[in-house]
Amino acid sequence: MSANVVSHLELSQEIVKELEFKANTKISELGKSLRIIKEEIFGIIAKNSIFLQYPIEDDELCGFVCPKGGKLFSFVNSYIQFDKQIFAAAHELYHIWYDEDVLKHGDFISLSTLNLNGDNKLSLKENMANRFAAMLLVPKRVLRNELDELDLRPNNLKLFDVIRLMDVFGVPYKAIVRRLYEIDFISLDKCLELMNLSDKEEDSPVRIAQKRLQLGVEQQRRTNTIRFDGLLDAALYAFEEKKITEDKLKYLLSLARKGPEEFGISRKAMNEKDILEFLEND
């Protein structure tokens, strides 16, 4: 990886200051100052859109934001690794909060969109969304505190130290490396050295270090979460109010791979009286 590859991800100081102001403002509004957001990001995006999760076996598909019927939907693919799910949700929040074009037309988030090593050139908008996501999930002040807590210095930073920071903040390896460079903790040469280490394959240096330290391994799992914002509660309420049949309830619950019995609902055999009432009301 060359210096040019990293440098094209650079944003002007004016834009960086604007993004940092926006990220810090949101952190304060959310009551998360000096706190690490991590998986709480899913609750935040659910408050700002109709949030869906479903495992689609495609590593390239990370998520999307889509307006429909006057409402805004957001989606994160729960098949991708958990740390990438967290980063994708934070990336989407930038579009939801600050991108009027996305609110009108939507936005598809691919793995290459979240690519932080510079292999693919990104639009200014996507580059800004990635930087905002990093600032939201790894605030400069909190990162500095963690570096002091771990007694880390630029001249003695090792791969194992980066792994520890990954575990603390719950973000991908290259996101942490980029943040260390963005806050001027490490040099461009050190950034390139760390970015050149593979973090994809199970036998890659980063993965082996995670297994050795037993840190961040859970963040690599594919959670396969199924979440349809409010669907289960709405379906159960409609059934309780006799607005839908049990078959309709079973179908709606099956979308989330659930069954009525999981909610204390069991099919009861119909007696003669029930059959007569059903026929009379049919």
pLDDT at 279: 55
| Residue 128: pLDDT over 90 | yes
Instruction: Match 């076996």 to its residue by tokens.
Output: 57
pLDDT of 183 > 90? The answer is yes
pLDDT category at 116 given cuts 50, 70, 90 is low
Tens of pLDDT, residue by residue over 225-278, are 999 888 888 888 888 888 888 888 888 888 888 898 899 887 654 455 555 565
Residue 251: what pLDDT? 87
Percent of the chain residues past pLDDT 90, beyond the cut: 60
3-state secondary structure of 114: coil
Contact 222, 78 (CB under 8 A): yes
Q: Given pLDDT bands bounded at 50, 70 and 90, which one contains residue 8?
A: very low
pLDDT tens digit sequence for 188-211: 999 999 999 988 888 999 999 999
pLDDT for the residue 53 = 95
Residue 154 identity (one-letter amino acid): P
Note every long-range contact of 60-64, with CB atoms under 8 Å and residues 24 or more positions apart, other chains counting: 60/110, 60/111, 60/112, 61/110, 61/111, 62/88, 62/109, 62/110, 62/111, 62/113, 62/114, 63/88, 63/89, 63/91, 63/92, 63/109, 64/92, 64/106, 64/107, 64/108, 64/109
Tell me the pLDDT tens digit for each residue of 95-113: 999 998 888 888 899 998 8
- Residue 65 burial (CB < 10 Å; 0-12/13-18/19+)? buried
The pLDDT tens digits for 50-89 are: 999 999 999 999 999 999 888 899 999 999 999 999 999 9
H or E element in which residue 77 lies: strand 71-77
115 vs 132, residue with greater confidence: 132
Sheet of strand 71-77: strand arrangement: 107-110, 61-68, 71-77, 50-54, 227-228
What rounded mean pLDDT belongs to the chain? 87
Q: Cα dist. 94→88, 101, 151, 195, 206 in Å?
A: 10, 12, 32, 25, 28
Q: Are 167 and 129 in contact (CB under 8 A)?
A: no
**Chain mean position to CA 67:** 19
Give me the residue spans of the domains in the chain.
3-220, 230-281
- Interatomic CA distance for residues 224 and 39, integer angstroms: 15
Report the alpha-carbon distance of residue 225 to residue 256 in Å, rounded: 9
Is 236 in contact with 189 (CB distance < 8 Å)? no
Structure-token pair, residue 265: 């609902």
Tokens standing for residue 80: 């991708």
Is residue 249 within 8 A of residue 235, CB to CB? The reply is yes
User: Which helix (DSSP H) or strand (DSSP E) does residue 53 occupy?
Assistant: strand 50-54
